[in-house]
Amino acid sequence: MSNVNSKLGKTVYINSNLLPGGGNIPLGPQCAAGVASNPPACFDYSSIAQNLSGRPNPYSPTWTVNAGIEYRFALAHGDTLTPRVDYTYIDGQNQTVQGAAADFIPAHSLVNVSMTYANGPWQVQGYATNLANKTYIVGETYGPSYFLGRPRQYGVRVSRSF
């Protein structure tokens, strides 16, 4: 389990979409105090500059919890059977420094399970991830277009130790 309370330090943000030409034309550096804008020699960005100091860092959820439990059952001839359940919770988080409501990724939790049979150097494991087949957002782009986490997946792994 982790608790993170990170905040941005001194951060000034210029939204390029608010610039003349949508940020696609050279405007020059910030004009010195008392000097009028004269692109491309200099530009006065002060009207669109945002002070973001103190806002949460992007992709920095306050709470993250991971917990797992397993129990190894002894079988005949030294074989073992091990069921396991894992739980993950990731708190809501902002994906950008602006912290706009549209940039917020809601909290989500997942449950994964597995069953491992071991016989000497051999192991066979059946597993399922995202057992409840939850749809959850892990990122997004303008539009908005969402990047979704993995759906339920299941399979079998076979391994041998040497």
At residue 25 the predicted structure's pLDDT band, cuts being 50, 70 and 90, is confident
What is the CB-side half-sphere exposure of residue 127 using CA atoms within 13 A?
A: 16
Question: How far apart are alpha carbons 98 and 103 in whole angstroms?
Answer: 8
Of 155, 66, 162, nearest in space to 116 by CA: 155
Q: Band the pLDDT of 97: cuts 50, 70, 90.
A: confident
pLDDT score at 143? 66
pLDDT of 98-148, one tens digit each? 888 888 999 999 999 999 999 999 999 999 999 999 999 998 887 678 899
How does residue 96 score in pLDDT terms, banded at 50, 70 and 90?
Answer: confident
- To the nearest whole number, what is the mean pLDDT of the chain? 92
- 73-91 mean pLDDT: 97
Q: Average pLDDT of 79-96?
A: 96
Does 87 score more than 80 pLDDT? Answer: yes
Residue 23 confidence (pLDDT) = 79
pLDDT of residue 101: 83
Q: How many residues does the chain have?
A: 162
pLDDT at 61 over 80: yes
Q: What percent of the chain has pLDDT over 70?
A: 99
Q: What is the pLDDT of residue 103?
A: 86
pLDDT tops 90 at residue 15: no
Q: What is the DSSP string of 23-69?
A: GTS---SBPPTTPPPBTTTBB--TTTEEE-TTSBPTT--SEEEEEEE
CB atoms within 10 A of CB 16: 11
Closest to 149 (Cα-Cα) out of 128, 161, 133, 127: 133
CA distances from 27 to 12, 51, 58, 72, 155 (A): 17, 21, 28, 66, 55
